[in-house]
């Protein structure tokens, strides 16, 4: 344990543990992999506890979604209690709120009493709890849990800076406007709402990517941080990459910096596998195995659930597109994959490849395909085209995409790349008799 002075210390911010997360579709194919996935969220929490102990943390905060659902399995509850007990045994208090996955009024609790120093915030009102070290108050932590899943109230408006010494931390499961796409609008708020409370640090949960939304400079200008989830749960883009917790470093009564620390056991990843220079499915299999081996080696001893997108253009596309080819190849990859840890489990293969296209041959046809290529080349050679096309498209797409589309006007290289890709896609559709 690392010793710290009263005004220089750290605490650990975790969120979205989703303990006992189920992983569907694996058990029958690979029981060993399924067992490791079942343990992954629990092992990640154990790593967070070990992190807090190793750093001599002043306290731990968990910002909601401790459990994956209202059923709250017994094993998950006891593992959570035991981890907090380890911290309590070393004098490290814990502060917990419940979120939309584990609201207080649904499900059941197997824990009759929590270890000393554990605060599970209630859903009816904000509670403010002081944190002392060596007889000196170094912080306050305040929070509120969800009573029900569909919590639409802006709970951040209930928080306020207390008249007390130390760093003031708010713990909340919420959706901050503009933080990330694709998350349900539970307890919606804005950065200005959070600033209004005049706290020093907001420990947030709900968004599964680690995000620093604001770097604090004192009361009214707080740090606003999503810790992300502790263990990835699916192949979705938001679940890829390292997962874990955030160590928050405090010096002279102010948050100095935040440090993301990976605590996960299994990671999800996706890679592209080009076929341009390949002639047989056996060569494709060899390339996928090599890519998987390299990807696993890069994950620092963690296991990997891997998907691959077959890309590029060439004669092998015909075999790749043959019904059942990728399904059979996926089964073969799984049969040959290692099952001991760290493992590389092949989750899926998708076809994004295309046939080889000889543009000279297309131009010589004198048909609609030739006219399409001529039009695309004319657009690509006109310096004013990117601006005109970007303006026209930006006016018709959702607002969230308009800015990205408009940026094409100032990026002729990206516009040319997209134009080439669109032309080849259109030629593929024409060759296949598509709409």
Average the pLDDT over 403-429 and give the result: 77
Alpha-carbon span 280 to 308, nearest angstrom: 17
Does the residue 427 lie in any domain? yes
**Residues in a beta bridge with 244:** 262
Structural domain ending residue among the three candidates 296, 317, 351:
351
> What pLDDT was estimated at residue 251?
96
Whether 354 contacts 313, CB under 8 Å: yes
Reported as a single tens digit per residue, the pLDDT across 253-298 is: 999 999 999 999 999 999 999 999 999 999 999 999 999 999 999 9
Residues 257 and 311 in one domain: no
> What pLDDT was estimated at residue 429?
76
Burial class (CB in 10 A: 0-12, 13-18, 19+), 127: middle
Domain of residue 329: give its range. Answer: 266-351
The residue ranking higher by pLDDT, 359 or 229, is 229
Does the residue 3 lie in any domain? no
Structural domain ending residue among the three candidates 262, 279, 300:
262
CATH number at residue 157: 3.60.21.10
Least confident of 30-44, 54-68, 177-191: 30-44
Does the residue 252 lie in any domain? yes
Residues 113 and 148 in one domain: yes
Most trustworthy range by pLDDT among 262-266, 406-410, 424-428: 262-266
Residue 411 token pair: 């990026």
Per-residue pLDDT band for 71 (boundaries 50, 70, 90) equals: confident
Q: Is 164 helix (H, G, I), strand (E, B) or coil?
A: coil
Residues 104 and 238 in one domain: yes
Residues 147 and 254 in one domain: yes
- To the nearest 10 degrees (0 to 180), the angle between helices 399-406 and 385-394 is 180
Whether 30 contacts 334, CB under 8 Å: yes
Residues 375 and 415 in one domain: yes
pLDDT at 195 > cutoff 90: yes
8 Rama class: left (phi>0) / alpha (psi -120 to 50) / beta: beta
Does the residue 407 lie in any domain? yes
Q: Say how many domains are in the chain.
A: 3
Residues 314 and 252 in one domain: no
Residues 87 and 230 in one domain: yes
Structural domain ending residue among the three candidates 262, 293, 319:
262
Does the residue 57 lie in any domain? yes
> What pLDDT was estimated at residue 52?
98
Residues 230 and 303 in one domain: no
Alpha-carbon span 60 to 65, nearest angstrom: 15
Residues 68 and 162 in one domain: yes
The residue ranking higher by pLDDT, 86 or 29, is 86
Residues 244 and 281 in one domain: no
Alpha carbons within 13 A on the beta-carbon side of 309: 10
My answer on whether omega of the bond before 385 falls inside 30° of 0, hence cis, is no
> What pLDDT was estimated at residue 1?
43
Residues 35 and 170 in one domain: yes
Sheet order of strands, 201-205 included = 127-133, 136-143, 167-173, 201-205, 223-226, 211-214
Does the residue 188 lie in any domain? yes
Whether 176 contacts 191, CB under 8 Å: yes
> What pLDDT was estimated at residue 3?
41
Does the residue 343 lie in any domain? yes
Length of the chain: 435
Residues 136 and 210 in one domain: yes
How far CA 244 is from CA of 49, 186, 209, 226, 432, in Å, comes to 11, 22, 10, 11, 46
- The DSSP string of 264-332 is -SEEEEEEEEE-TT--SHHHHHHHHHHHHHHHHHTTTT-EEEEEEEEESBSTTHHHHHSTTHHHHHHHH
Does the residue 2 lie in any domain? no
């Amino acid at each position: 344990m690392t010793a710290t002075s009263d005004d220089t210390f750290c605490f650990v911010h975790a969120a979205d543990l989703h303990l006992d997360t189920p992983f569907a579709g694996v058990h029958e194919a690979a029981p060993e992999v399924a067992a490791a996935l079942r343990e992954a969220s629990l092992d990640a929490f154990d790593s967070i506890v070990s992190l807090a102990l190793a750093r001599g943390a002043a306290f731990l905060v968990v910002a909601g979604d401790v459990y994956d659902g209202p059923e709250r399995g017994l094993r998950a509850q006891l593992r959570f209690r035991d981890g907090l007990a380890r911290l309590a045994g070393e004098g490290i208090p814990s502060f917990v709120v419940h979120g939309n996955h584990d609201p207080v009024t649904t499900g059941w609790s197997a824990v009759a009493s929590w270890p000393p120093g554990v605060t599970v915030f209630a859903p009816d009102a904000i509670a403010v709890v002081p944190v002392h070290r060596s007889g000196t108050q170094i912080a306050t932590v305040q929070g509120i849990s969800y009573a029900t899943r569909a919590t639409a109230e802006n709970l951040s408006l209930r928080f306020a800076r207390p008249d007390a010494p130390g760093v003031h931390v708010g713990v909340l499961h919420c959706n901050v406007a503009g933080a990330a796409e694709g998350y349900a609008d539970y307890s919606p708020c804005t950065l200005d709402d959070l600033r209004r409370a005049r706290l020093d640090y907001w420990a947030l949960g709900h968004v599964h990517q680690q995000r620093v939304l604001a770097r604090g400079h004192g009361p009214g200008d707080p740090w606003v941080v999503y810790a992300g989830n502790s263990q990835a749960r699916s192949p979705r883009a938001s679940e890829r990459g390292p997962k874990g917790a955030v160590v928050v470093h405090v010096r002279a009564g102010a948050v100095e910096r935040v440090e993301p620390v990976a605590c996960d056991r299994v990671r999800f990843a996706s890679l592209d596998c080009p076929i341009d220079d390949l002639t047989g499915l056996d060569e494709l299999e060899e390339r996928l195995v090599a890519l998987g081996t390299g990807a696993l080696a890069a994950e620092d001893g963690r296991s990997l659930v891997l998907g691959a997108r077959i890309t590029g253009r060439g004669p092998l596309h015909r075999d790749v597109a043959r019904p059942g080819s990728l399904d059979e190849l996926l089964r073969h990859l799984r049969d040959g994959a290692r099952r001991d840890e760290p493992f590389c489990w092949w989750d899926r293969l998708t076809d994004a490849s295309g046939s080889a296209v000889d543009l000279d041959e297309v131009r010589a046809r004198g048909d609609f395909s030739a006219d399409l290529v001529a039009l695309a080349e004319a657009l690509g050679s006109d310096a004013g085209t990117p601006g005109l096309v970007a303006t026209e498209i930006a006016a018709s797409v959702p607002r969230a995409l308009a800015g990205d589309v408009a940026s094409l006007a100032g990026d002729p290289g990206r516009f040319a790349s997209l134009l080439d890709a669109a032309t080849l896609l259109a030629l593929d559709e024409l060759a296949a008799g598509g709409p």
